[in-house]
């Protein structure tokens, strides 16, 4: 990696993640061989023209992907040339969802109008019986087409949009932009907050087949409800991730009294 390399992330991609991607690519290309140590933090700061904090966050990310290991006094050692078959998502703010949309691809398998009758769905959506919503089903991949041996899907997703947003039917899956940003841009509304629930789940039936796992495989279900200032859902997304293909990382900062 040449000295003075500029790191210009795509729009919506945090700088530390762009540095992590560049380091991961350099490792995959053999610039940093397995068993060798990465350059010092100081050197990496100079190479990428970023702060020490950014470098540390980038290294923490590629460590979570299994590419490197860190040991006090020994530096950062390259462990493998390819990352583990999983996607690591960081979450400090709503904008951290943008890289997830930018770095993955949603393969839409079904998009239909649905009348909400099921009691569980009504509670999830805050919908009246018979209320119309756009229901989109698909699988999310890091890239390429889903294949049982190469590019395994990292999630099966069910997305609900109020019927008034039905014009987004063709856009979902055709762009790497987050759906909530499409809603804000096209309908002059704004997401005020996101409610998120993370729960263990067992992957069964058709979902197991779509995710290339055995029925009963442990999974992680992440449900996000995107709400306006009045608490009305503008988007609800339910993602089911097979164990081992997805990791969730967040930072909790203590507020000083």
List, in sequence order, every residue forming a beta bridge with 114; answer none if it has no partner: 133
Class of domain 15-78: mainly alpha
Q: What pLDDT was estimated at residue 5?
A: 52
Rounded distance between C-alpha atoms, residue 16 and residue 77, angstroms = 19
- 174 closest CA partner among 85, 250, 107: 107
Q: Cα dist. 178→96, 98, 134 in Å?
A: 10, 6, 17
**Per-residue pLDDT tens digits for 105-159:** 888 999 999 999 999 999 999 999 999 999 999 998 875 444 433 467 889 999 9
Contact between 246 and 221 under an 8 Å Cβ cutoff? The reply is no
Backbone angles phi, psi at 19, to 5 degrees: -65, -40
Please give the pLDDT value at position 21. Answer: 83
What pLDDT, in 10s, does the model give residues 54-111? 998 889 888 877 889 888 778 899 998 876 555 555 555 566 555 566 677 888 999 9
CB contact at 8 A, 107 and 173: yes
Query: Which CATH architecture does the domain made up of 87-250 adopt?
Result: 3-Layer(aba) Sandwich (3.40)
Structure confidence at residue 236 as a pLDDT band (50, 70, 90): very high
Determine the average pLDDT of the residues in 22-47: 92
CB atoms within 10 A of CB 92: 12
Which of 19-28, 46-55, 85-94, 216-225 is predicted with the least confidence, judged by mean pLDDT? 85-94
Least confident range of 43-47, 161-165, 243-247:
243-247
Give how far the C-alpha of residue 44 lies from the chain's centroid of Cα atoms, to the nearest Å.
26
Does residue 34 surpass a pLDDT of 80? yes
Share of the chain above pLDDT 70, in %: 80
* Tokens matching residue 59: 């290294």
Q: Is the pLDDT of residue 9 over 70?
A: no
**pLDDT recorded at residue 70:** 87
Contact between 49 and 4 under an 8 Å Cβ cutoff? The reply is yes
Residues of the chain with CATH 1.10.10.10: 15-78
More confident residue, 28 or 83: 28
């Amino acid at each position: 990696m040449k000295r003075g390399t500029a790191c210009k992330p795509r729009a919506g991609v945090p700088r530390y993640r762009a540095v992590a991607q560049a380091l991961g690519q350099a490792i995959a290309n053999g610039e940093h061989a397995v068993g060798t140590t990465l350059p010092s933090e100081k050197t990496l700061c100079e190479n990428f023209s970023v702060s020490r904090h950014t470098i540390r966050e980038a290294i923490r990310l590629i460590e979570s992907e299994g590419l490197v290991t860190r040991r006090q006094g020994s530096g950062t050692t390259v462990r493998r040339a390819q990352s583990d078959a999983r996607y690591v998502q960081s979450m400090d703010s709503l904008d951290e969802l943008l890289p997830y949309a930018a770095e993955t691809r949603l393969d839409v398998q079904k998009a239909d109008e649905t009348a909400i009758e099921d009691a569980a769905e009504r509670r999830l959506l805050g919908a009246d019986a018979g209320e119309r919503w756009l229901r989109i089903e698909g699988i999310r991949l890091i890239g390429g087409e889903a294949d049982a041996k190469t590019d395994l899907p990292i999630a099966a997703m069910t997305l609900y949009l109020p019927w008034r947003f039905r014009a987004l039917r063709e856009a979902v899956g055709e762009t790497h932009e987050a759906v909530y940003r499409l809603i804000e841009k096209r309908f002059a509304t704004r997401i005020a907050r996101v409610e998120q629930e993370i729960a263990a789940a067992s992957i069964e039936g058709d979902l197991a087949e779509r995710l290339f796992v055995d029925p009963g495989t442990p999974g992680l279900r992440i449900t996000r409800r995107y709400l306006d200032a009045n608490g009305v859902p503008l988007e609800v997304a339910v993602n089911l991730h097979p164990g081992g293909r997805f990791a969730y990382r967040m930072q909790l900062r203590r507020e000083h009294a």
